[in-house]
């Protein structure tokens, strides 16, 4: 554009006055700086728009992934409650085999540690990862509790059926694991209303009353299992909630 203007000027006015070349050089330098600034602004703006677009696409992708996982959540929760109930009844069967306050050595069945479908834990883990708008600490705790329960039951089997005739397991330990199973059941049950879109509020914790409700749902009545309910009452008086047990071995 500068060359065009200069050609027109020369054709009409003639030679440039003295000092014009120096002025033109200064003007060209300023113009160049201005053009460079504009180019930088355009580049930054385009980069920002590209980043905003990419972030928007990622937010949309995560939102759709969360929606899909939420749709699968009721099935995963049902599998968790089924796992907890099978675990509870297997433990209760061992209580029937106790001799007084102890389970004799070589008595714990190899099948005591119940199987939970691997895709269930995968679904729960993905739900935790893609839940950006709700606090899913309760699901995190439930997943941790399931893994701890599985580890403890396998350890119980190993000790009871170990070399040299195994160890005697106390009745109190079995009852503690039974209460842990009910806690897992209660944790999963508390999320059902959110998973089924009956409410948008995600629960943050569970109470001991929820654990008692889990026992009743699994057909463990207080008049038939007074010791279990008494142990829960004792824990309730010394804890803020069932999840306190994650910080250490539950009291008997």
pLDDT score for 180: 95
Are the C-beta atoms of 216 and 189 separated by less than 8 Å?
A: no
Q: What is the pTM of this model?
A: 0.77
pLDDT score for 252: 42
Could you write out the DSSP letters of every residue in the chain?
-HHHHHHHHHHHT-SPPTTHHHHHHHHHHHHHHHHHHHHHHHHHHHHHHHHHHHHHHHHHHHHHHHHHHHHHHHHHHHHHHHHHHHHHHHHHHHHTT-BTTEEPTT-S-GGGS----HHHHHHHHHHHHT--SS--HHHHHHHHHHHHHHHHHHHHHHHHT-GGG--PEEHHHHHHHHHHHHHHHHHHHTTHHHHTTS-SPPP----HHHHHHHHHHTT--TTT-HHHHHHHHHHHHH-SSGGGGGGSPPP-
Structure tokens at 155: 């350890």
pLDDT score for 117: 83
Are the C-beta atoms of 112 and 90 separated by less than 8 Å?
A: yes
pLDDT score for 74: 93
The Cβ of residue 126 has, within 10 Å, a number of other Cβ atoms equal to 16
Distance, in Å, from the CA atom of 81 to the CA atom of 87, rounded to the nearest integer, reads 10
Residue among 131, 124, 118, 140 nearest 65 (CA): 131
Structural domain boundaries in the chain: 69-247
Are the C-beta atoms of 135 and 84 separated by less than 8 Å?
A: no
Are the C-beta atoms of 208 and 241 separated by less than 8 Å?
A: yes
Are the C-beta atoms of 218 and 96 separated by less than 8 Å?
A: no
Are the C-beta atoms of 127 and 112 separated by less than 8 Å?
A: no
Average pLDDT along the chain, 252 residues, taken 10 residues at a time: 51 54 56 62 68 65 82 94 96 95 95 89 91 89 93 95 90 96 96 91 92 97 95 91 65 42
Structure tokens at 224: 């038939």
Are the C-beta atoms of 246 and 144 separated by less than 8 Å?
A: yes
């Amino acid at each position: 554009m500068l060359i065009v203007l200069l050609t027109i000027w020369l054709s009409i006015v003639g030679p440039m006055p003295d000092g014009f070349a120096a002025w033109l050089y200064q003007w060209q330098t300023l113009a160049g700086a201005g053009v460079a600034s504009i180019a930088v602004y355009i580049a930054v703006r385009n980069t920002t728009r590209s980043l905003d677009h990419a972030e928007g696409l990622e937010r949309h992708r995560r939102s759709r992934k969360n929606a899909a996982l939420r749709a699968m959540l009721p099935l995963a929760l049902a599998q968790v409650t089924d796992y907890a109930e099978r675990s509870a009844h297997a433990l209760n069967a061992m209580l029937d085999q106790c001799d007084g306050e102890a389970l004799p050595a070589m008595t714990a069945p190899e099948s005591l540690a119940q199987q939970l479908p691997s895709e269930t834990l995968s679904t729960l883990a993905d739900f935790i990862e893609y839940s950006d708008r709700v606090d899913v600490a309760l699901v995190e705790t439930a997943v941790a509790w399931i893994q701890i329960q599985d580890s403890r039951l396998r350890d119980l089997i190993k000790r009871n059926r170990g070399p040299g005739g195994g160890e005697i397991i106390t009745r109190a330990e079995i009852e503690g694991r039974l209460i842990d199973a009910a806690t897992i059941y209660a944790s999963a049950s508390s999320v059902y209303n959110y998973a089924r879109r009956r409410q948008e509020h995600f629960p943050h914790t569970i109470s001991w009353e929820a654990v008692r409700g889990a026992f009743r749902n699994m057909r463990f009545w207080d008049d038939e299992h007074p010791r279990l309910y008494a142990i829960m009452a004792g824990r309730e008086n010394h804890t803020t909630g069932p999840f306190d047990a994650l910080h250490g071995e539950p009291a008997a």
